[in-house]
């Protein structure tokens, strides 16, 4: 890889570590590339689809002219794997916040779980979590939520192409989902618990694919740095 290639345009597949924000990952690569190749301060770099800090996996980072591909990449089908914990909810729908309510799970069988996944296939209405980066009245929803302000969130259409249960060990349920742009897997976990007449929240999430791009070909930010030559 050369400075010319980076400025002209590269698609870099990064395996985002746990607790990192997508913004942090982009900034880390920006710092690495600038230092290694003596690039201009304001060279173009950006990511194609945010991952929450508590999610890991595929983050596509584009440089140079390839930043124009970001919108196109974001519209492609995404695949995730993860774990839903049944019987409890959290305000953020994941582990960012503490459990706020407990629900029964004794009635939940493997058959009921598998049947319920069918209700989520195809086009569905979904409300984004209150702890999300969507803007409302000029502020991010999570800013309203952390300030204790109540906001009305409009539901939106999203499409679930595949929803496969890969492990059941109650209260944990592992899954694999293929979905359209704008799908919140945290909301899917919450709604799935509700559909089971219980509660649910996400305890783990990993993005494995975006279109033809796979996390199998991605690299951790620190490993990416090690893979580059020392000289500028």
Alpha-carbon gap, residue 115 to 85, rounded angstroms: 17
Phi and psi angles of residue 224, each rounded to the nearest 5 degrees, phi first: -60, -45
Question: What six digits make up the tokens of 115?
Answer: 């049947």
Query: Quick one: angle between helices 110-117 and 185-195, nearest 10?
Result: 130
User: For residue 207, which of 44, 81, 42 has the smallest C-alpha distance?
Assistant: 81
Collapse the DSSP code of 198 into the 3-class scheme (helix H, G, I; strand E, B; otherwise coil) and give the result. Answer: coil
For 55-65, give one letter per residue: b (16+ CB within 10 A) or e. bbbbbbbbbbe
173 forms beta bridges with: 84, 168
Alpha-carbon gap, residue 113 to 9, rounded angstroms: 45
Burial class (CB within 10 angstroms; exposed 0-12, middle 13-18, buried 19+) of 220: middle
Provide the annotated active-site residues: 52
* All residues at 6 or more sequence positions from 72 whose CB lies less than 8 Å from its CB, including other chains: none
Question: What six digits make up the tokens of 141?
Answer: 């929803």
Q: What is the DSSP letter of 219?
A: B
């Amino acid at each position: 890889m050369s400075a010319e290639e980076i400025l002209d345009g590269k698609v870099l597949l990064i395996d985002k570590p746990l607790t990192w924000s997508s913004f942090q990952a982009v900034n880390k690569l920006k710092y690495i590339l600038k230092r290694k190749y003596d690039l201009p301060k304001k060279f173009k770099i950006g990511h194609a689809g945010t991952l929450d800090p508590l999610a890991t996996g595929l983050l596509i980072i584009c440089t140079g002219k390839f930043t124009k591909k970001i919108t196109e990449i974001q519209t492609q089908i995404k695949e995730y794997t993860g774990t839903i914990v049944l019987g409890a909810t959290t305000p953020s729908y994941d582990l960012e916040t503490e459990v706020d309510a407990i629900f029964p799970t004794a009635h939940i069988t493997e058959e009921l779980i598998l049947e319920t996944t069918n209700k989520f296939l195809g086009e569905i209405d979904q409300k984004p979590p209150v702890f999300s980066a969507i803007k409302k009245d000029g502020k991010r929803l999570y800013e309203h939520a952390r300030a204790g302000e109540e906001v009305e969130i409009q539901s939106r259409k999203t499409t679930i192409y595949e929803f496969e249960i890969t492990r059941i060990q109650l209260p944990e349920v592992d899954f694999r989902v293929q979905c359209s742009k704008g799908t919140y897997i945290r909301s899917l976990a919450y709604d799935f618990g509700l559909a089971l007449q219980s509660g649910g929240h996400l305890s783990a999430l990993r993005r494995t694919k975006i279109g033809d791009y796979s996390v199998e070909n991605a690299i951790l930010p620190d490993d990416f740095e090690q893979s580059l030559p020392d000289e500028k």
